[in-house]
Amino acid sequence: MEKKLFMKWQGYPVEKNILYQDNTSAILLEENGRKSTGKQSRAINIQYFFITDQVEKGNAKIKYCPTDDMIADFMTKPLQGEKFRKFRDLILGPQD
């Protein structure tokens, strides 16, 4: 959230932080906190509910992003073929 303040101080219009998520269970947990958890997630430490707190305060918004469009996968998963080329071109620009 500090980045939001920094951008605001630089004169850029900043609305909400948008967090893209491709896991619907994680979206429920982030938006509803402990209300959407069952016995299996009871052991989750309170520090992991930071996102839930930010959503409740209106500082962040969760949006669903299909797995095939999740650009973060380029940095976190070993992609091959068409998916690799698609994300590479999005990040680095089209390659000849």
Look at residue 41 in the predicted model and tell me its pLDDT. 58
Q: Are 62 and 19 in contact (CB under 8 A)?
A: yes
* Residues 33/38/43/48 CA torsion (nearest 10 deg): -20
pLDDT value, residue 47: 62
Predicted pLDDT at 1: 58
Q: Please write the tens of the pLDDT for every residue from 2-47.
A: 777 888 888 888 777 888 888 888 888 777 766 655 666 555 666 6
Q: Which of the four pLDDT bands, split at 50, 70 and 90, describes residue 64?
A: very high
76-83 average pLDDT score: 87
